[in-house]
Structure 1
Amino acid sequence: MEVLSQLVTANDWGNYAVNATNISIYTLAQCYADLSHNDCLQCYAASRTRLPRCLPAVSGRIFLDGCFLRYDSYAFFNESVDPAWDGVNCNSSVGAGSGVGLEFDKDVRELIDNVTASAVVNGRYAVMGSKGVFGLAECWNTVSREGCRACLAKASKDIRGCLPSKEGRALNTGCYLRYSTQKFFSNQSQETNSTSGASRRGAIVAIVFSVVAFCMLCLFAAYAAYGRWKKRKQGQGGAGSVYRGTLPNGKTVAVKRLFFSTRQWVDEFFNEVNLISGIEHKNLVKLLGCSIEGPESLLVYEFVPNKSLEQYLLGIAFLHGGSEFRIIHRDIKSSNILLDENLDAKIADFGLARNFAADKTHLSTGIAGTLGYMAPEYLVKGQLTEKADVYSYGVLVWKLYKTDRLTESVDPCLQGDFPAMEAVKVLKVGLLCAQASVAQRPSMAEAVRMLTDENYEIPEPNQPPFLNTSTLSASSTRSSYSINSLASNMVPKMKHRIPPPSLSVFRVLKDSPEVKR
């Protein structure tokens, strides 16, 4: 994926193949031609964060309203039509952009015919609007002209089944077709100058392509021992699944089973082994061993019996202490913070972690992690520092606002009898950690001091990034929030909520229309 990322960064599209001993992987990514270069990179980053949802399938396709990403175990680059997987996505609302009933259907059919015909003869891409209806048609760059014609012909036939819906999308093997009563594209041609700063889909293009995520088609492989493994499965991450196992001496362990054995996965495997084997701390999951024999790669860890902080959220003990190494985790989130039998928190999953040299101000690296937890400077510019983990922690705290579980930040055993200002202090530190500016975020050591030193004066945080200010009350739209204001929000029922600093831009459509095949 790193090579594919480089190709997309250079050309706004790319295809790449990896042929290993046990498996071959072919990948393709392409941004739609009306997207600016910067918007393309953001859309591609968003599609990569959704890729783990297809794993451990050997095939996957991700369609966003801005780009397309596919991987498979065979060379599919020339494919244009696949009846088994080509499908449409229809909006449930009935269209009335240029009338109702037969008149609207006629206008849409005419537009579809024109935009698909134009795309075939004009370099695999076309957009147009007529009579209040707008359309976009695009074929993948690896598909031949005849393949493009065949794909769009099938797409135009299938998408007619969406009528009289006001919007429809055809998600095909070799092309993408969309119509809508709302204009969703720019008439300008694809920009190649990334320094122009112009965003042709609006000031924040993420708002456009993030409301899609409407379809993910995954082809699942059959594993001979699937049933046996499934019974012992404890969880799943982006790189592999975790299972409960028992050593010959009776010791219970956690076994992380990586999905693939390609070069990229091998790099992540040894990265995790090298980093975590060199450090030992009470708040890090201990690596006991590893195996690279046979077709699979395995990591063996101490078994942490309780669930992650996704359910408990009992503290921030994982922030305490450190090591002689400067390590950026890159994937701090609730599911990677585990609790042992004493409910002490431990950080897990170091597959994406990076060792940070003391003389470096930042690392320039490909985007990896979980969308919503990634710092803005890392997501947009690829600049990685320890402050990226600080930001992720801030999101971890403020995620409670988004999910309406703010009260769970306080132990329910207290039954509401707790010092509100202490709870507010924790939330305030979380807000400081989620600042848009790297310089305004505290270091992790400073965050710990803020929480443990009663005499430490916590500075007032600025407004967190990506806030949708239209949802704030008039009293909450200041550039900073006072601790008294936060306290009043918490007691007694915390009715006035401050939106979370993440996912306000990258909102995923929760209730997607049904996909027809």
Structure 2
Amino acid sequence: MRWLSLSSTLKGGCRLYSCASKISDLRTLPSFAEIEAIQTKVRGRNTNWQSSASMTQRTDLLLHVRMEDPRTNQATLSCGTLKPPPNASFIPTFVKEMESLSQLITTHHWGTHFVNSTPPMYGLAQCFQDLSHTDCLLCYAASRTKIPRCLPFLSATIFLDGCYLRYDNYSFYQQPTDPSRDAVICSSSSKHELENEDRMEFVKNVGFAIRNVTKAAVDNGGFGVAQVKGSVYALAQCWKTVGRDGCRACLEKGGEAVRGCAPKKEGRALNAGCYLRYSTEKFYNDEEQAEHMADHGHGLSVSRGIIIAAVLAAAAFILLSLFAAYAGYAKLVQIKQERSGVGLASISINKYSSLKFKYETLEKATDYFNSSRKIGQGGGGSVFKGTLPNGKTVAVKRLIYNTRQWVDDFFNEVNLISGIQHKHLVKLLGCSIEGPESLLVYEYVPNKSLDHFLFDKNKVRILTWNERLNIIVGTAEGLAYLHEGSTIRIIHRDIKSGNVLLDENLSPKIADFGLARCFAADQSHLSTGIAGTLGYMAPEYLVQGQLTEKADVYSFGVLVLEIVSGKRNSTFRQDWDDSDSLLHKVWKLYISNDLARAIDPCLRDDFPAEEASRVLQIGLLCTQASVALRPSMAEVVAMLTNKERVAVPNQPPFLNATGSSTINRSSYSANSSISNALTKVEASCTSTESSSMRSSYGDLKNRTSFAQ
């Protein structure tokens, strides 16, 4: 790579902002993070270089000096066509994205980063695995300062022969191919003016090389090199985010395209999820050589030290000029503040050293987040099944947040769950915060969440009355422990069927504490931003933002009615041809002594009528509009276990327009009404469905999964 002389570029001097236009050819200099990493490496290898030349001489030595090849040759630069809205702070967002990726490249050779802005920005940077650490930094420095040529477009992709950089306004991380962007580039010259027979041999060798390098990359975590008869050399690199299957799909498509380049000397396939290249000359480093250079400083000669020293002397002024032109000092301060938040959080997690996992360990445990390992998807990210080196099976939650709010939610969940232990609460085993994305590690729960059973017409038959009651009681016990049993009082804020996991015995475990909040014993309520799931949120919390443990009680009441009825609160109206929600419908049936119609018809006569009535009545008690009328979770557990008499609900879930809400009822028994109504609903579940139920149960025993 050729570096221009700073003294010649800035000859005659310039003002801060006008210099930005003169230094466009020097924008391949490293960022501060990259400079610091290189400087540390230089100090560790050479201490006498300063006496070899004056500063002016060192600066001029930048010209025409050849370094070890970081492969910064530009294969392609592709810009999008959409531009941000006029009022968007797009350039500061771009600067933030590039700096964040710099940090990840410096520490991990690759990384992804998301900026939650308007429009959002997703970024991915990755060096090829055979590059040394120093060459990786230099390659990324080149790519990050060439890609601004696409500004202010919302997306851009740059392929260098040693690294890759992309930003876009949507999450492209798991996209192996993109017909609108994928490209193949063939060299202009052929191998030789060969005879037809030799030409065919060369084309065949290219095919062998591509096939071999594809297999090597898929089997080796996304990177591979190959050579055939010393005449064809090939390299394949997949992005870490596409997984094994995505890597194979990308390279197979790229390989098919690049075969068409033969008998040209070189060919490159540049796809959304990978890079593939063949050549008649060896252009890559052996992995052992790259590791040796990174670990022992091989190649950090005096000349390289001189070059880097001059770069260090010039980089501060140049980068300050660029940042001043792009964003201004105030925005940089904000970025630093956000980073400091992550840093403080990182320090705090060190106190829980037993919770720390290496990113590489979890990456390998999930087969590099292979799509076949994905077992759940939640609002905070995807969940993958993983197997640790000791053989233990875990669930790894891959978080998608990368903002200050993400920092708060992440460490909120870590600190909360790590301090509580209960048989009906999912156990947090640890986390990883040092990789390109943050990960949470949970105990593996062998069945999916409750909603996958409750709202599936085949799987719901597996849930007998006893199993449904056990799920209700277990969930109530877990919530009671959160509210009163642990050393800290916790409000979950997002109790719903999707956050109740089922183990191998269909016993419940409450999961997903990312929205949970602590409260002191002397606090009546918390004022907080609204977060949760519509349909499960208490009216006082939804309307006024006032949060108490009774908000969880309300959500639990909705869950109880869903479990007994087998219907979602949000979709109940479709089945009953009524505009009422599930809560209102059950309330009306309660008033009219017709609760049998609210019970899942698939239960048939497989439940005690009086007990079913009690449970529905408890659900209505929990969903009363007035906070004061709702029982505590400890009282709910006592009622469910027949240790306490079930009170009479006096208020519907929401007050009506007239304000009339109370009823005068001292007791209620549904034995007769349930018995009389069974024949009406029995036809909904046929004997054919019963046989499929047994089949479904057999299938379930062979499936294990985890959902958030």
Could you tell me the TM-score, scaled by structure 2's length? 0.38
Gaps of 5+ in 1: 1-13, 30-54, 60-78, 83-217, 470-476, 497-517
Structure number with higher relative contact order (C-alpha < 8 Å, ≥ 6 residues apart): 1
Shift of 1:347: 0.4
Q: Report the equivalent of 2:290.
A: none
Q: Report the equivalent of 1:343.
A: 506
Code of the aligned partner of 1:225 = V
The sequence identity of aligned pairs, in percent, is: 57
SS of 1:378's equivalent in the other structure is helix
Among 414, 419, 425, the alignment partner of 1:284 is 425
Among 624, 627, 637, the alignment partner of 1:438 is 627
Shift of 1:479: 4.1
Shift of 1:485: 7.2
Shift of 1:487: 5.5
Deviations for 1:189-240, whole angstroms, at most 9, x for unmatched residues? xxxxxxxxxxxxxxxxxxxxxxxxxxxxx94423332545321111111111
Q: Report the equivalent of 1:25.
A: 115
Shift of 1:494: 9.2
Could you tell me whether the CA contact under 8 Å between 1:463 and 1:480 is conserved in 2? Answer: no
Among 249, 272, 288, the alignment partner of 2:413 is 272
Could you tell me whether the CA contact under 8 Å between 1:252 and 1:303 is conserved in 2? Answer: yes
CA distance in 2, matches of 1:234, 1:467: 42
Deviations for 1:414-455, whole angstroms, at most 9, x for unmatched residues? 751422110111111111111111111111111111111255
Could you tell me whether the CA contact under 8 Å between 1:428 and 1:461 is conserved in 2? Answer: no
Shift of 1:307: 2.2
Residues 354-393 of structure 1 aligned to structure 2 (within 5 Å): 354-393=517-556
Code of the aligned partner of 1:25 = V
Residues 309 and 487 (structure 1), Cα distance of their counterparts in 2 relative to 1, 3 Å cut: farther
Code of the aligned partner of 1:266 = V
Give the ranges of 4+ consecutive aligned residues of structure 1 lying more than 3 Å apart after TM superposition: 14-20, 26-29, 399-412, 466-469, 477-491, 493-496
Residues 26 and 283 (structure 1), Cα distance of their counterparts in 2 relative to 1, 3 Å cut: closer
Residues 460 and 375 (structure 1), Cα distance of their counterparts in 2 relative to 1, 3 Å cut: closer
1:450 aligns with 2:632: no
Q: Report the equivalent of 1:302.
A: 443
Structure having the larger proportion of residues in strand: 1
Could you tell me whether the CA contact under 8 Å between 1:488 and 1:494 is conserved in 2? Answer: no
Could you tell me whether the CA contact under 8 Å between 1:424 and 1:483 is conserved in 2? Answer: no
Deviations for 1:131-172, whole angstroms, at most 9, x for unmatched residues? xxxxxxxxxxxxxxxxxxxxxxxxxxxxxxxxxxxxxxxxxx
Could you tell me whether the CA contact under 8 Å between 1:15 and 1:26 is conserved in 2? Answer: no
Shift of 1:266: 1.4
Residues 237 and 439 (structure 1), Cα distance of their counterparts in 2 relative to 1, 3 Å cut: same
CA distance in 1, matches of 2:507, 2:527: 33
Residues 178-189 of structure 1 aligned to structure 2 (within 5 Å): none
SS of 2:440's equivalent in the other structure is strand
CA distance in 1, matches of 2:398, 2:679: 42
Shift of 1:481: 7.3
Gaps of 5+ in 2: 1-86, 102-112, 124-151, 155-168, 175-240, 247-368, 455-462, 576-581, 583-595, 682-708
CA distance in 1, matches of 2:526, 2:668: 38
CA distance in 2, matches of 1:265, 1:489: 51
Among 472, 476, 485, the alignment partner of 1:319 is 476
Q: Report the equivalent of 1:260.
A: 401
Deviations for 1:52-99, whole angstroms, at most 9, x for unmatched residues? xxx9x959xxxxxxxxxxxxxxxxxxx9x99xxxxxxxxxxxxxxxxx
Q: Report the equivalent of 2:610.
A: 421
Among 331, 345, 349, the alignment partner of 2:494 is 331
CA distance in 1, matches of 2:612, 2:510: 23
Code of the aligned partner of 2:450 = L
Residues 379 and 480 (structure 1), Cα distance of their counterparts in 2 relative to 1, 3 Å cut: farther
Residues 293 and 446 (structure 1), Cα distance of their counterparts in 2 relative to 1, 3 Å cut: same
Could you tell me whether the CA contact under 8 Å between 2:376 and 2:382 is conserved in 1? Answer: yes
Could you tell me whether the CA contact under 8 Å between 2:550 and 2:627 is conserved in 1? Answer: yes
Code of the aligned partner of 1:421 = E
CA distance in 2, matches of 1:449, 1:261: 43
CA distance in 1, matches of 2:597, 2:508: 20
CA distance in 1, matches of 2:616, 2:672: 13
Shift of 1:467: 7.3
Residues 19-418 of structure 1 aligned to structure 2 (within 5 Å): 19=96, 21-22=100-101, 23=113, 25-27=115-117, 219-223=170-174, 224-226=241-243, 227=246, 229-310=370-451, 311-312=453-454, 314=468, 315-316=471-472, 317-320=474-477, 322=481, 323-399=486-562, 400=565, 402=569, 403=572, 415-418=604-607
CA distance in 2, matches of 1:265, 1:380: 25
Shift of 1:360: 0.9
Residues 421 and 366 (structure 1), Cα distance of their counterparts in 2 relative to 1, 3 Å cut: same
Could you tell me the TM-score, scaled by structure 1's length? 0.51
SS of 1:225's equivalent in the other structure is helix
1:464 aligns with 2:656: no
Shift of 1:254: 0.5
Residues 480 and 268 (structure 1), Cα distance of their counterparts in 2 relative to 1, 3 Å cut: farther
SS of 2:621's equivalent in the other structure is helix
